[in-house]
């Protein structure tokens, strides 16, 4: 029986609430399955930062390397600027472990209402380039505080980085029934990095004649997502563009509270990280009403990655049984608590 070592980083706000629920569900799944999990809690959070001055302690990434996967909640606190918490915890892990493929499925679960009348047509995977682009961290500020202050925020695209995310996207699209991939760029206005994205996409496309493609500018893509959801299957976009598109996809599929994501190092040289898309949600933190479904779906993606496809499918089925029965937290229009949804999913297992 395989025993998976999982690093658990709940982080801040509702991150701690939904990850506790996620661990309960994983234990329940393991109890009547044929694998075991050994979660280990790492208290890397904004509270810790405020006390000790760091999110990730010395040697923290080395320690993370010893795990099979990382299960992450959310980071962000009203007491710490967002760019400090993001660059303090989440980005060093994504970048340090070369988790360059961020995968975000979106679909309307049974019993969930989409704001779109044609929401049932949503069955998408948003693939976000997760290692470079607009979030490469390049730039600077000069003449700070003077009226002539200048700030630059430079996107960095490498041939290797672009080629590997395109190849990953074609491989993923190839495994889906519709085998369709939309390239989302902004190569009319951004004539260097985005034009290179387009060129490399069509080079890689030659190796995948079974996958049909479409090219869309990112602004037009937002309207396609709302007006013609059935014309989309898998989409690939840059770090910034896909960050935005995937929040839109989450909202169109009912709530940010159900959307999962995987930060993959496809070569498996380093552990991959699994997290709900949402943040620490100051407005509902501590109230016990955070929707844990995103975290459960995330757990299913983690199991799938670990090679436990059967357990992942069982978990998805239990999630869908519970959403179909409309055991919903307030974000989905219900009155259930995090605990009640969690217990319902465990019962459905």
Instruction: Report, in Å, the least distance between residue 243 CB and Mn ion.
Output: 4
Instruction: Report, in Å, the least distance between residue 101 CB and ligand NAD.
Output: 16
Q: Which stretch binds ligand NAD (CB under 6 A): 34-42, 74-82, 120-128, 302-310?
A: 74-82
Instruction: Report, in Å, the least distance between residue 72 CB and Mn ion.
Output: 13
User: Which of ligand NAD, Mn ion, none sits in contact with 290, Cβ below 5 to 8 A by type?
Assistant: ligand NAD
CA-to-CA separations, 26 to 90, 137, 260, in angstroms, rounded: 23, 35, 15
CA angle 326, 329, 335 (to 5 degrees): 80
Number of residues in contact with ligand NAD under rule CB under 6 A: 22
Helix axes 338-348, 14-31, angle to 10 degrees: 20
Burial class (CB in 10 A: 0-12, 13-18, 19+), 190: middle
According to DSSP, residue 86 is labeled I
123 catalytic per annotation: no
User: Which of ligand NAD, Mn ion, none sits in contact with 233, Cβ below 5 to 8 A by type?
Assistant: none
Residue closer to ligand NAD (CB basis): 12 or 308: 12
> How do beta strands 260-264 and 212-217 pair?
unpaired
Q: Does 342 bind ligand NAD (CB under 6 A)?
A: no
Where would I find the H helices in the chain?
Answer: 14-31, 46-52, 60-64, 82-85, 91-96, 159-174, 193-205, 218-227, 239-252, 293-306, 309-324, 338-348
Task: Report how far apart the first and last C-alpha atoms of the chain are (Å, whole number).
Answer: 20
According to DSSP, residue 178 is labeled S
24, 47, 198, 247: the active-site residue: 247
User: 83-102: which residues touch ligand NAD (CB under 6 A)?
Assistant: 90
98, 135, 208, 233: the active-site residue: 135
Q: Does 75 bind ligand NAD (CB under 6 A)?
A: yes
135 catalytic per annotation: yes
Q: Does 259 bind ligand NAD (CB under 6 A)?
A: no
> How do beta strands 272-276 and 69-74 pair?
parallel
- Copy the structure tokens of residue 141: 């500020």
Residue closer to ligand NAD (CB basis): 42 or 194: 42
Judge contact between 193 and 157, C-beta under 8 A.
yes
208 catalytic per annotation: no
Q: Does 278 bind ligand NAD (CB under 6 A)?
A: yes
**37 φ/ψ sector (left φ>0, alpha ψ -120 to 50, else beta):** beta
Q: Which stretch binds ligand NAD (CB under 6 A): 114-122, 179-187, 238-246, 289-297?
A: 289-297
Q: What is the Cα Rg of the chain in Å?
A: 20
202 catalytic per annotation: no
Q: Which stretch binds ligand NAD (CB under 6 A): 29-37, 97-105, 173-181, 290-298?
A: 290-298
According to DSSP, residue 211 is labeled S
Helix axes 218-227, 239-252, angle to 10 degrees: 10
Q: Does 340 bind ligand NAD (CB under 6 A)?
A: no
Q: Does 271 bind ligand NAD (CB under 6 A)?
A: no
Q: Does 128 bind ligand NAD (CB under 6 A)?
A: no
Binding footprint of Mn ion on the chain (CB under 5 A): 243
247 catalytic per annotation: yes
Give the separation between CA 207 and CA 142, rounded to whole angstroms: 46
Residue closer to ligand NAD (CB basis): 269 or 283: 283
Question: 74, 194, 225, 345: which one contacts ligand NAD (CB under 6 A)?
Answer: 74
Which residues are known catalytic residues?
135, 186, 219, 243, 247
Residue ranges binding ligand NAD (CB under 6 A): 14, 18, 74-76, 82, 90, 256-257, 275, 278-284, 290-291, 294, 329, 331
């Amino acid at each position: 029986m395989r025993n998976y070592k999982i690093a658990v980083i709940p982080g801040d706000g509702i991150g701690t609430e939904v990850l506790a629920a996620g661990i309960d569900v994983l234990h329940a799944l393991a109890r009547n399955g044929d694998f075991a999990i050994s979660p280990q809690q790492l208290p890397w959070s904004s509270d810790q930062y405020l006390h000790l001055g760091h999110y990730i302690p010395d040697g923290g990434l080395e320690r993370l390397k010893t795990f099979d996967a990382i299960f992450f909640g959310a980071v962000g606190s009203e007491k710490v600027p967002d760019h400090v918490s993001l660059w303090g915890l989440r980005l060093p892990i994504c970048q340090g472990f070369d988790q360059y493929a961020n995968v975000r499925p979106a679909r309307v679960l049974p019993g969930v209402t989409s704001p779109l009348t044609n929401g049932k047509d949503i069955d998408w995977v948003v693939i976000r380039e997760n290692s470079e682009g607009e979030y490469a961290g390049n730039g600077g500020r000069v003449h700070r505080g003077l009226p002539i202050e200048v700030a630059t925020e430079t996107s960095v695209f490498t041939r290797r980085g672009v080629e590997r995310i395109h190849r990953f996207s074609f491989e993923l699209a190839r495994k889906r029934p519709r085998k369709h991939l939309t390239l989302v760029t902004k190569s009319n206005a951004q004539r260097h990095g985005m034009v290179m994205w387009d060129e490399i996409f069509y080079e890689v496309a030659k190796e995948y004649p079974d996958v049909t493609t479409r090219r869309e500018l990112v602004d037009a893509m937002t309207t396609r997502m709302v007006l013609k959801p059935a014309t989309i299957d898998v989409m690939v976009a840059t770090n910034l563009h896909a960050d935005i598109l995937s929040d839109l996809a989450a909202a169109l599929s009912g709530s940010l509270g159900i959307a999962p994501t995987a930060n993959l190092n496809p070569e498996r040289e380093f552990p991959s990280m699994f997290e709900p898309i949402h943040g620490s949600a100051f407005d509902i933190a501590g109230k016990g009403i955070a929707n844990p479904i995103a975290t459960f779906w995330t757990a299913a993606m983690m199991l799938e990655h670990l090679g436990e496809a059967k357990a992942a499918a069982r978990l998805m089925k239990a999630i869908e049984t519970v959403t179909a029965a409309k055991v919903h937290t307030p974000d989905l229009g219900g009155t259930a608590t995090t605990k009640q949804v969690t217990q319902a999913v465990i019962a459905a297992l």
